[in-house]
Amino acid sequence: MQAQQQTLLRDAMRRLNMTRDAFANRIGVSRRALDTWLLPDESAESRAMPEIASRYVMELVERIPSGDEYTQRVYSPSILHEGRPHLLSVDQFSRDSVEALFQVADTMQPIARRQKITRVLEGAVLANLFFEASTRTRVSFGAAFCRLGGSVCDTTGFTFSSMAKGESIYDTSRVISGYADALVVRHPEKGSVAEFVRATNVPVINAGDGPGEHPSQALLDLYTIQREFSRVGKIVDGSHIAMVGDLKYGRTVHSLAKLLALYRGLKFTLISPTSLEMPASILDQITRGDHVIEQTNDLQTGLKGADVVYATRIQKERFADESIEGYTPDFQINQALVDSVCGPDTLIMHPLPRDGRPGANDLSTDLNHDPRLAIFRQTDNGIPVRMAIFAVLLGVERQVQHSMRDAAWKSPAYIGPDDAVFHGID
Ligand code: NCD
């Protein structure tokens, strides 16, 4: 079982803030050897790390000087809103607490990859309350809870809920809290999920409050960026992130921009039609760090030099009277554009869903076979990250590692037809 060594190595690289090359050099092994130690167990190339090397890495981590501002100090995961276990906003995180959460997510990888099972949440019930459209967020929160051994109750839309009969958020939240041990809530109004929190002591997770925030998506996005960067020799500090599309109503970019701003010296290029620019409140918050922010309507120039291109869907369902003039087919991220302006290591991300309807100009499907397209690695990462969120909120994160057993059923080594290409570069 090499999963523990992968967690140890990823944790060490994160805490030392080192690329794979720098870390291999630091521990005196070849980059190739380090890569094979980091491969998932099911990969034919995966190798066990010699005992002496793992002892050395553990010592290195223990010796990290506490005064070094570039490395991580306090290292215990916590997700607290006003002192209580709820996840409402990325504002609840420091860089240290984010990375501690990612360490928990790394321990979940063998379960997310269906090699192992755990029952640490056996008997616990999740209420998945979605008052707005969702596929991946609802299912992945449900699947994450089930993979920790819990069970899930769902409700979708207003029509079939008592809110259609005029019930208040307070009453709904208090009632459901009597049935379930955690609430995941998506609601079309900004700030609404905070109202659920007022009526309950059971952990509540914001799965999207209108154009407000989507913290779990931002966490899985950042987790993806770190994992992908580690492979191509980059770190988040100093990177160039281009965000494209509906930055006004896109809650995923609101949360992600704030979360990335916890790092150092980033360049943000914000590319959108003028009517859909990033809200001033988010800009204010990210300008407080040592970051460079550029805003433009020009996709071609905006994407140049970007390490990450984060595309988003135009959120038409939230429009008041905005026009999207200028949002023409030229605004689409497709293979030709990526080939002409992006580098060989540029990551192409999107929270999904992609709007595939004619005239939507969303991220093109012609990139589907390009390994720079990280969208399905991103969705896959939703499971370990959401498992980590539940484990921390419900206080079982330390029990997971020791509770794992082998999965009894057979699952494919690669989930999708393109994953051999994608995961071959893991
Ligand atoms: C996003 C959302 O709902 O905010 N989807 C998601 O949760 N992955 C993005 C969108 O709807 O465009």
| C-alpha–C-alpha distance, residues 120 and 397, integer Å | 9
Ligand 1, residue 315: give the atom nearest the CA.
12
Ligand 1, residue 251: give the atom nearest the CA.
4
pLDDT at 73: 44
| C-alpha–C-alpha distance, residues 380 and 411, integer Å | 15
Residue 304 structure tokens: 């140049």
In the reported structure, the alpha carbon of residue 296 is separated from the centroid of ligand 1 by a whole-number distance in angstroms of 23
Q: Check pocket membership of 351 for ligand 1, CB cut-off 6 A.
A: yes
In the reported structure, the alpha carbon of residue 100 is separated from the centroid of ligand 1 by a whole-number distance in angstroms of 25
Task: Say if residues 71 and 16 touch (Cβ distance below 8 Å).
Answer: yes
pLDDT at 414: 85
Question: What superfamily would CATH give domain 216-376?
Answer: Aspartate/ornithine carbamoyltransferase (3.40.50.1370)
Q: Check pocket membership of 212 for ligand 1, CB cut-off 6 A.
A: no
Exposed/middle/buried for residue 76 (C-beta within 10 Å: 0-12, 13-18, 19+): exposed
Q: Check pocket membership of 302 for ligand 1, CB cut-off 6 A.
A: no
Concatenate the DSSP letters of all residues of 277-346 into one string: PPPHHHHHHHHTSS-EEEEES-HHHHHTT-SEEEE----GGG-SS---TT-SGGG---HHHHHHHS-TT-
In the reported structure, the alpha carbon of residue 234 is separated from the centroid of ligand 1 by a whole-number distance in angstroms of 27
Ligand 1, residue 355: give the atom nearest the CA.
12
pLDDT at 423: 58
Q: Check pocket membership of 137 for ligand 1, CB cut-off 6 A.
A: yes
How do the domains of the chain map onto residue ranges? 1-64, 216-376
In tens digits, the chain (426 residues) has pLDDT values of 577 899 899 989 998 989 899 999 999 999 999 999 998 877 888 899 999 999 999 998 888 765 554 444 446 789 999 999 999 999 999 999 999 999 999 999 999 999 999 999 999 999 999 999 999 999 999 999 999 999 999 988 888 788 888 899 999 999 999 999 999 999 999 999 999 999 999 999 999 999 999 999 999 999 999 999 998 999 999 999 999 999 999 999 999 999 999 999 999 999 999 999 999 999 999 999 899 999 999 999 999 999 999 999 999 899 888 777 767 777 899 999 999 999 999 999 999 999 988 888 899 999 999 999 999 999 999 999 999 999 999 999 999 999 999 999 998 888 888 787 765 554
Residue 88 structure tokens: 């409402």
Among 90, 217, 247, 385, say which to mutate for ligand 1: greatest number of ligand atoms within 8 Å of CB: 217
Task: Say if residues 118 and 146 touch (Cβ distance below 8 Å).
Answer: no
Ligand 1, residue 351: give the atom nearest the CA.
8
Helix or strand holding residue 124 (H, E): none
In the reported structure, the alpha carbon of residue 426 is separated from the centroid of ligand 1 by a whole-number distance in angstroms of 25
List the beta bridge partners of residue 125: 151
Phi and psi, residue 127, nearest 5°: -100, 120
In the reported structure, the alpha carbon of residue 58 is separated from the centroid of ligand 1 by a whole-number distance in angstroms of 39
Q: Check pocket membership of 254 for ligand 1, CB cut-off 6 A.
A: no
Ligand 1, residue 252: give the atom nearest the CA.
4
Measure Cα distances from 58 to 50, 173, 229, 235, 354 in Å: 13, 44, 23, 21, 42
Atom 12 (ligand 1) nearest CA = 313
